[in-house]
């Protein structure tokens, strides 16, 4: 394996660069087209759409309820199910500190595609967009650019300057311009609202099993393999570094993990997250060039916290011990249909 430890490059690798393009979906499904912005003529050429508007960070169970309603309304109206999302996060464009992302942009798009969305409009979120009131955004930006047959939102939806535009405004605009408005049910688990904020809190605490429950799938980190400092390779444990710009990491430490490369079959390995946020993965019994390829990593239990070692020899010895512990953990961890389950972090010293 040629990719080795070191910091992320800081370059956004794998993000959409020129519209339109297609993103693969699981076998038997249709590809999702990704369009950057509202100006591209490919948007009007897409035909009638039913669209949902939101950041969709994490594409969690709450988002899933909205997407399910989106698909139903699109089928009813014989239109294309579409999502309009934003990049960067709106809070960052307004001058504040944006929240760390649960998933990188490319990961978010892949998750939307897997749920059945067939068109995704990635709108660059600027101060100009932020300053536009909701009615003006609909009248001057969205409706002239796309053939909107319907809009589907969650029960707490608000948009536009000061978040003053809501469901009432959408319904008034729908009556005037001839599109339907559907309000999806609230996404809940055990009677509690599912939110990106709650999931971030679980990830920060290392409760990856709890995060998985709210996500509705195993928690994972997905990024592009980039070059690092080659320290692991020099110690006989080659590792792949993941580029995860702006993505929230679990607490620093060493985790047993499973990983897929370019959507292939899961492979066992060890995940290390250092105190600087560098994410590196060692795959067992693997050799090959991974640079530039997408990798998705599923933590499967924490082996130990991150710590410093007095020498390279001590580090190398501990790395071999971590690998042995991870092999035992992964050998006894249950998987469902070959998909790794995130486990609650614990000490396996």
pLDDT over threshold 80, residue 173? yes
Please tell me the pTM assigned to this model: 0.83
Predicted pLDDT of residue 129: 87
pLDDT confidence band for 330 (50 / 70 / 90) = very high
Distance from C-alpha of 89 to C-alpha of 174, rounded to nearest angstrom: 27
pLDDT averaged over the chain?
Answer: 84
φ and ψ at 257, to 5 degrees? -155, 160
The residue whose two tokens read 């396996």 is 348
Q: Which residues contact 134 (CB under 8 A, 6 or more apart)?
A: 159, 160, 161, 164, 165, 166, 169
pLDDT in tens, 215-266: 999 999 999 999 876 565 556 688 999 999 999 999 999 999 999 998 889 9
Higher pLDDT, 117 or 287: 117
Digit-coded pLDDT (tens) for 139-167:
999 999 999 999 999 998 988 887 888 89
Q: What are the structure tokens assigned to 147, written together?
A: 């053939």
pLDDT at position 98, please?
81
Task: Note the pLDDT tens digit of each residue in 295-319.
Answer: 999 999 999 999 888 888 888 899 9
For residue range 74-93, list pLDDT tens digits in order: 999 999 999 999 887 777 66
């Amino acid at each position: 394996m040629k990719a080795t430890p070191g910091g992320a490059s800081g370059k956004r690798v794998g993000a959409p660069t020129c519209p339109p393009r297609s993103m693969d979906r699981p076998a038997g499904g249709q590809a999702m087209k990704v369009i950057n912005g509202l100006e591209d003529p490919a948007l009007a050429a897409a035909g009638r759409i039913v669209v949902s508007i939101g950041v969709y960070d994490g594409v969690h169970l709450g988002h899933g309820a909205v997407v399910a309603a989106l698909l139903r309304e699109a089928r009813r109206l014989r239109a294309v199910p579409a999502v309009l999302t934003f990049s960067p996060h709106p809070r960052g464009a307004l001058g504040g500190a944006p929240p760390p992302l649960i998933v990188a942009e490319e990961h978010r798009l892949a998750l939307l595609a897997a749920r059945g969305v067939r068109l995704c409009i990635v709108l660059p979120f600027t101060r100009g967009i932020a300053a536009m009131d909701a009615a003006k955004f609909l009248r001057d930006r969205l409706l002239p650019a796309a053939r909107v047959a319907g809009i589907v939102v969650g029960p707490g939806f608000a948009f536009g300057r000061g978040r003053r535009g809501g469901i009432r405004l959408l319904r008034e605009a729908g009556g005037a311009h001839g599109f339907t408005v559907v309000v999806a049910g609230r996404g809940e688990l055990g009677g509690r609202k599912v939110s990106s904020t709650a999931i971030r809190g679980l990830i920060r605490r290392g409760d990856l099993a709890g995060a998985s429950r709210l996500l509705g799938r195993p928690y994972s980190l997905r990024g592009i393999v980039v070059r690092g400092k080659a320290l692991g390779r020099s110690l006989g444990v080659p590792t792949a570094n993941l580029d995860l710009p702006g993505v929230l990491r679990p607490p620093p430490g060493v985790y047993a993990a499973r990983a897929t490369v370019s959507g292939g079959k899961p492979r066992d390995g060890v995940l290390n997250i250092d105190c600087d946020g560098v994410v590196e993965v060692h795959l067992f019994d693997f050799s090959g060039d991974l640079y530039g390829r997408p990798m998705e990593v599923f933590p499967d239990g924490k082996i130990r916290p991150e710590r410093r070692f007095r020498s390279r020899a001590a580090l190398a010895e501990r790395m071999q011990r971590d690998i042995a512990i991870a092999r035992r953990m992964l050998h006894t961890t249950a998987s469902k249909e070959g998909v790794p389950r995130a486990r609650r972090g614990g000490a396996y010293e």
